[in-house]
Amino acid sequence: MSTVQLKNPHVAELDVDHYYHLGFDSSMDLKELFGGVRFVLYGGSNDRMLNIAESFAASFWPLPLGQKVTPIGSTTRYHMFKVGPILFFAHGMGMPTFSIMLHETTKLLAAAGAKDVIMIRIGTSGGVGVEGGSIVVTKNSVSGLLEPYYDIPSLGKVIRRPSVLDQDVHDGLLAAAAELGLTAVSGTTMSVDCFYEGQGRLDGAICHYEAADKLAFLQKASEAGVRNIEMESLMFGAFCQELGIKGGVICTTLLNRLNGDQVTMTPEQYKAWVGGVVEVVKTYVAKTLGITRKD
């Protein structure tokens, strides 16, 4: 059993640590509230994370008649939910907003004394050579320059950190998909700061290249092992690696970028595609925690 660790001696010097964007602080009884947390599931949007939390509750920890899952902490910046030993946090879009949440979640769990915590991002992404509705489990992440590092300027100098996710979590998610008879691809995820130019789309407000240039780059990325593109996993892997957190990323793809740029799937498709990924994560969580489904 290993507790969540920080790499910052200064935190211990604070009388009270305010996890400002979450709306919790270290004067609360965090051990009681969060000491038993074993999983943190992250995703982009508030609605999606509520749906996922409700789905986990229905499968493993059914709520009594007259009760429902409701946000915890502050709802100003993020929506967060807790069901059993699992936190469900909506991180918004992009590495910076997710980074804030990761710092504060990790500090909160360290203060709570949580043990053997696994963090998984459940995302949406653009596929590269895989069709919409595919499941991609991230083996490693690369930047828009196809480099496996996350660069963050700090005190005027760039800190470069390798982005490394956990092999066991990766393998466990793939095994869970196989158990369900779902096809999941293991691959490299390209992780960038821009949905349009940063992903080589032709449909942004600014575009300085032609369709052939875009396809040549996506082809190059595909040959380098890239199977999907999103906007968070590179920083997530760097953060997990730095702190020894077991992290995983599993995404559905909303389209195949080799065929187009616009996201036009139906709400029903979106629901079904995300639902598939959620079932995979449920299966992995159940196996890890040694629990069985009640639905």
Nearer to its own copies, 59 or 106 (CB): 106
Question: Interacting stretch for its own copies, rule CB under 8 A, among 6-14, 57-65, 112-120, 282-290?
Answer: 6-14
> How many whole angstroms separate alpha carbon 146 and alpha carbon 46?
30
State in angstroms the smallest separation of the CB of 46 from its own copies: 8
Q: Does 117 bind its own copies (CB under 8 A)?
A: no
Question: Interacting stretch for its own copies, rule CB under 8 A, among 45-53, 81-89, 175-183, 285-293?
Answer: 45-53
Q: Does 264 bind its own copies (CB under 8 A)?
A: yes
Among 121, 170, 214, 282, interactor with its own copies by CB under 8 A:
214
> How many whole angstroms separate alpha carbon 69 and alpha carbon 202?
40
Phi then psi for residue 208, to 5 deg, are -110, 15
Asked whether 118 and 167 are in contact (CB, 8 A), the reply is: no
End-to-end CA distance of the chain: 30
Which sign does the torsion angle of CA 60, 271, 87, 149 carry? Answer: positive
3-state secondary structure of 51: helix
State in angstroms the smallest separation of the CB of 208 from its own copies: 7
Nearer to its own copies, 57 or 221 (CB): 221
Question: Interacting stretch for its own copies, rule CB under 8 A, among 10-18, 30-38, 61-69, 81-89?
Answer: 10-18
Contacts of 28 (CB under 8 A, 6+ apart): none
Q: Does 272 bind its own copies (CB under 8 A)?
A: no
Nearer to its own copies, 46 or 186 (CB): 46
Q: Does 8 bind its own copies (CB under 8 A)?
A: yes
Contacts of 114 (CB under 8 A, 6+ apart): 3, 4, 34, 35, 36, 37, 38
Question: Interacting stretch for its own copies, rule CB under 8 A, among 126-134, 176-184, 256-264, 287-295?
Answer: 256-264
Nearer to its own copies, 184 or 192 (CB): 192
Nearer to its own copies, 97 or 163 (CB): 97
Q: Does 49 bind its own copies (CB under 8 A)?
A: no
Asked whether 227 and 141 are in contact (CB, 8 A), the reply is: no
Nearer to its own copies, 61 or 217 (CB): 217
3-state secondary structure of 72: coil
For β-strands 118-127 and 246-256, DSSP reports them as: parallel
Of 50-109, which residues contact its own copies (CB under 8 A)? 75-77, 92-97, 99-100, 102-104, 106-107
Residue 232: both structure tokens together: 């968070």
Nearer to its own copies, 45 or 288 (CB): 45
3-state secondary structure of 154: strand
Counting beta carbons within 10 angstroms of the beta carbon of residue 10, is it exposed (0 to 12), middle (13 to 18) or buried (19 or more)? exposed
Nearer to its own copies, 65 or 158 (CB): 158
Of 123-162, which residues contact its own copies (CB under 8 A)? 143-146, 152-159
Q: Does 225 bind its own copies (CB under 8 A)?
A: no
State in angstroms the smallest separation of the CB of 177 from its own copies: 26
Of 173-212, which residues contact its own copies (CB under 8 A)? 192-198, 200, 202-209, 211
> How many whole angstroms separate alpha carbon 230 and alpha carbon 277?
16
